[in-house]
């Protein structure tokens, strides 16, 4: 499973990086090709890290349920609060982090109580 996930992550990250490069090269906002290549590689690496982390995290149906509930709620609240203070990007990041932490707290509490979160 892990080897399959690593290969899938690599392939999708390469595709994402190439598409990111093509979109930016054809938009003509930046004239430096080296800068666009650097941004594309960085975007592909960040995407690969997030993709691998997400799918390694959601390896059981119970975890899919827990994180599938907490992450969207926290993201929505983060976006709303970010819009109120005019920093939506920071709100998205904070919402994602809070959602992941909330999922782990839910899992920790469920394991402590011994019923598996049901």
Q: Which tens digit of pLDDT belongs to each residue from 65-90? A: 888 888 889 989 988 988 888 888 88
Q: Percent of the chain at pLDDT above 70?
A: 95
Burial of residue 62 (CB within 10 Å: 0-12, 13-18, 19+) is: middle
Its pTM surpasses 0.95 = no
How far is 113 from 118, CA to CA, in rounded Å?
A: 10
């Amino acid at each position: 499973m892990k080897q399959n996930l690593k290969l899938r992550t690599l392939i999708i990250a390469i595709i994402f990086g190439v598409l990111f490069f093509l979109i930016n090269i054809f938009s003509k906002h930046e004239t430096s090709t080296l800068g666009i290549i650097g941004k594309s590689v960085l975007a592909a690496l960040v995407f690969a890290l997030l993709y691998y982390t997400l799918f390694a995290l959601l390896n059981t149906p119970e975890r899919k349920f827990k994180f599938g509930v907490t992450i969207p709620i926290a993201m929505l609240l983060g976006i709303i609060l970010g819009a109120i203070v005019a920093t939506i990007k920071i709100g998205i990041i904070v919402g994602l982090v809070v959602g992941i932490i909330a999922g782990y707290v839910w899992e920790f509490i469920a394991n402590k109580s011994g019923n598996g979160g049901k």
